[in-house]
Chain A
Amino acid sequence: MSIELKNISKKFGEVAAVNNVNFSVNDGELVGLLGPSGGGKTTVLRMIAGLELPTEGDIFIRGERVNDLSVQKRNIGFVFQSYALFKSMSVAKNIAFGLTIKKWKKADIEARVAELIQLFGLSGLEKRFPHQLSGGQRQRVAIARALAPKPSVLLLDEPFGAVDAKIRQELREWLVTLHHELNVTTIFVTHDQEEAMEVSNRIVIFSKGNLEQIGTPREVYEQPANEFVARFVGVMNVLEATVGGGVARINEIEFPATGQEDGARLRIGFRPYAVQVSNDLSLLPYRAVLRHTFFLGILLRLEMELPSGLIIRSRMTKEDYAQQGLEDGREVSFQIKNYRVLASDSATLAPELESKYQQPPTMGENI
């Protein structure tokens, strides 16, 4: 096991940034720390690096407790969101910096720098200064610099935050390839669930300083531990139903609810792909009006309004949609093929997130 966090808490004055977090990262794993801003994920990353000290708990790197080890001695590579390159040094000097500090032999430094320049596609840029590089190149220099002294862990803070969308996609793929080649244990922080899903072996989800769930992208998508995770990762329809006579009911929609007491309120979640839609009004049990269709590529997202005013989201392929002759404003029938009763999350949703949910992230559509 490469990294282990045990009962880690961090307070800034009175404000609790991280609450009793436990998780571990295996050797060679690529793990994403995901959550909304202010969720505590960057603080966790900085604590692993030694840039912040935990208020409580222990951190282990390769079995060694590092709480009392200074940043300088932890042998980690850290890539900052702003890249934090040394402006007065050339690309080659930037990459060599850590090696010079560690007093490598001159020939060894030169060989290592040349190797990294080659690996990171920076040939010909050795003598340039950071301000003469593009955003993507700067980031590669920052990662090369962090990796040069062969750290036991590579930590990246919002590595794709500062570049535009197209380069972002390339960088993601490149990071996965790089990780494949080097196999160095890597932890990165992101607020972009799509990025986390695409790049990570496992995802650790934070909200308001609490660890909400840890699992593979598939696990967190298919078996979200709670409502927060369900809504943060992919699109989720969430309805609150009241139990009565063995069924949970919300307006016209019913879900079987055996073993639940009458009057209990359940939060029920289902993904858009679980909603089957038909133009044949007699085919499926419920009726709704198709309000809006969003084009997402080969898939379309349908927003349907029930007679009671409830909005439910579904999705279908372009071909299906055309074949059924659907269009905005038409009446359709639908059914919900599977759903989950959601555990409430450990903390209520932060207010700034509520607005985000009005326009749900689209990741789920692609899985």
Chain B
Amino acid sequence: MGFTLFYLSAIVLIPIGALILKTLGIPWSEFWRLATTERALAAYKLTFGASLIAALANATFGTLLAWVLTRYDFPGRRLVDALVDFPFALPTAVAGLTLANLFAVNGWLGKYLVPLGIKGAYTPLGVVIALTFVGMPFVVRTLQPVLENFEREVEEASATLGAGRMRTFISVIAPSLLPSIITGFALAFARAIGEYGSIVFISGNQPFKTEIAPYLIVMRLEEYNYAGAMTMAVVLLVFSFVLLAVINLIEQWASKFTKG
């Protein structure tokens, strides 16, 4: 208990406390002005919007990937399974550089995509791509154990009662998976909001266009505008806390029928 408290304080509580204390020195009207400059608003919009889209994409395709990985056996399955963790392990800057090169006008993929009108590098789309990449393991890894523990017999029971495959999926399987999908979605979303390294390379960081909130904070710091950086940091912080609370509530609700 003592150790937990000490560790939590050193790692999480004290830095956050310092941040909030510092911000308290700024008058409210000034805080509001700094937090809602047009450039900041555009950055929030991009960060939250792109994060939401990326998390949704991950929830959809991550579920699919987890399903395939647990339900089907194919050559290379273990390799694919190991690769899922790749975005975790890869330094985000490396991921960002790689993606930027891949989607640039003369990149491997950009070569074919740009003539089709799909511009990956230096656009909001690039931000979404990078965020999808880093968030993908969250959904897969949250869902996998749940799917593995899902009894085949439950599906068979549904079939003996007359339910077709579609009906079984909707009425029996999906309700059991939904809490985990939502948890995975929220984790991917939270991660995406804080993501910095992989995006700065692919987005191009144009103010009002492809500038994300964490990048703007760094910019403010470089301008020695500590108050501006701090207010934006607090906004992101509050949002993260809200998200954390929501995740916990969902997990509580889910445990209502997933345990035992």
Contacts and interface: CB of A to CB of B under 8 A. Distances in A.
B176 A88 contact: yes
B256 interface: yes
B156 A97 contact: no
Max chain A Cβ within 10 angstroms of own Cβ: one of B151, B158, B162, B176? B162
B114 interface: no
Interface string A177-219: 0000000000000000000000000000000000000000000
Contacts of B259: 131
Given A51-B156, A84-B154, A129-B256, A145 B176 contact: no
Interface in B2-46: none
Contacts of B159: 51, 71-72
Interface in A85-104: 85-89, 97-98, 101-102
Contacts of A37: none
Given A84-B153, A88-B257, A129-B257, A97 B161 contact: yes
Interface in B150-184: 151, 153-154, 156-164, 167, 171-172, 175-176
A102 B160 CA distance: 12
Contacts of B151: 82, 84
B172 A86 contact: yes
B260 interface: yes
Contacts of A61: none
Contacts of A324: none
Interface stretch (A73-81, A311-319, A334-342, A347-355): A73-81
Contacts of B260: 130-132
A149 interface: yes
Contacts of A131: 257, 259-260
B163 A77 contact: no
Could you tell me the dominant secondary structure of chain B's interface residues? helix
Contacts of A85: 154, 157
B257 A77 contact: no
A101 B257 CA distance: 22
A132 B256 CA distance: 10
Interface residues of A, number: 31
B150 to A, nearest CB: 10
B162 A49 contact: no
A80 B175 contact: no
Contacts of B60: none
Contact of A72 (B163, B171, B175, B176): B163
Nearest to A71: B159
A81 B153 CA distance: 9
Interface string A140-170: 0010011001000000000000000000000
A88 B175 contact: yes
Nearest to B178: A88
Interface in B214-260: 256-260
B120 to A, nearest CB: 40
Interface residues of B, number: 22
Max chain B Cβ within 10 angstroms of own Cβ: one of A49, A73, A87? A87
A87 B176 contact: yes
Interface in A108-147: 129-132, 142, 145-146
Max chain B Cβ within 10 angstroms of own Cβ: one of A49, A77, A84, A149? A84
Contacts of B153: 80-82, 84
B156 A84 contact: yes
Contacts of A98: 161-162
Contacts of B171: 86, 97
Interface string A244-283: 0000000000000000000000000000000000000000
Given A78-B157, A80-B157, A87 B257 contact: yes
Contacts of B164: 72
B176 A101 contact: no
Contacts of A101: 161-163, 167
A19 B210 CA distance: 69
Nearest to B150: A87
A49 B164 CA distance: 15
Contacts of B162: 72-73, 98, 101-102, 149
- Leading 8 A-B pairs by shortest Cβ distance: A131-B260, A98-B161, A88-B175, A84-B153, A84-B157, A78-B160, A101-B162, A80-B153
14 contacts: A50-B160, A71-B156, A72-B159, A84-B156, A86-B157, A89-B175, A101-B161, A129-B257, A130-B257, A130-B260, A131-B259, A145-B157, A145-B161, A149-B162
Given A74-B160, A82-B153, A149-B161, 19 more contacts: A50-B160, A51-B156, A71-B160, A72-B160, A72-B162, A72-B164, A80-B157, A84-B153, A84-B154, A85-B154, A86-B154, A86-B157, A87-B154, A87-B176, A97-B171, A101-B167, A131-B257, A142-B157, A149-B162
